[in-house]
Amino acid sequence: MIASLVALALQTAATSNSAPAPTPAGEEPVAPYAESDANAGAAPFRGDAMWRAFGAAAGVHAIVDDLVARNTADPRITDIFRNRDLVRLRRTLFEQFCYILNGGCHYSGQTMAQSHKDMGIQQADMAALVENLQAAMRGQHVPMAAQNRLLAKLAPMHRPIVAR
């Protein structure tokens, strides 16, 4: 009896560990991948100064929503965003920024290489997105020094994102 209970418990644990995370409401399913904060592609800032400079959760949500809206409406890059899961993009981008700004989030998305592969993203596309991010940060009155500190963290990500 005890042996079978232990076996059942082990089996349940094994199943729940290996089961893929359920797809959040409103999102499309994604093939399983290893989740890790390292997938965010940059180490977080220390302390709470950056998180506060960005207006904490409300500010970062507003910036992410504005950034995604600007990207989808931007004729330079709108094609790349067509038919993509923007609900998932808003969620994972928020997590990524929150993690990097040391807002206490975990990043559950894919690596920058995985999530942008086969999109043919060019340096000019990256420049357009950075302009849109700058406009979104300005819209939330993020101080210029804090804007530049985040942009410096994101800059090396052109390597996994831009196609060669």
CA distance 138 to 144: 8
CA distance 21 to 41: 21
Minimal distance, residue 98 CB to ligand HEM, in Å: 11
Is residue 129 at the binding interface for ligand HEM, with CB under 6 A as the rule? Answer: yes
Measuring CA to CA, which residue among 152, 127, 126, 151 is closest to residue 137?
151
Q: Which of residues 18-47 bind ligand HEM (CB under 6 A)?
A: none
Residue from the set 60, 116, 146, 147 that interacts with ligand HEM by CB under 6 A: 116
Interface stretch with ligand HEM, choices 13-21, 52-60, 108-116, 137-145 (CB under 6 A): 108-116
Is residue 109 at the binding interface for ligand HEM, with CB under 6 A as the rule? Answer: yes
97: left (phi over 0), alpha (psi -120 to 50) or beta: alpha
Using alpha carbons only, give the angle 77, 82, 84 rounded to the nearest 5 degrees. Answer: 115
List of residues contacting ligand HEM (CB under 6 A): 77, 80-81, 84-85, 88-89, 92-93, 96, 109-110, 115-116, 121, 125-126, 129, 154, 157, 161
Annotated binding site: 116
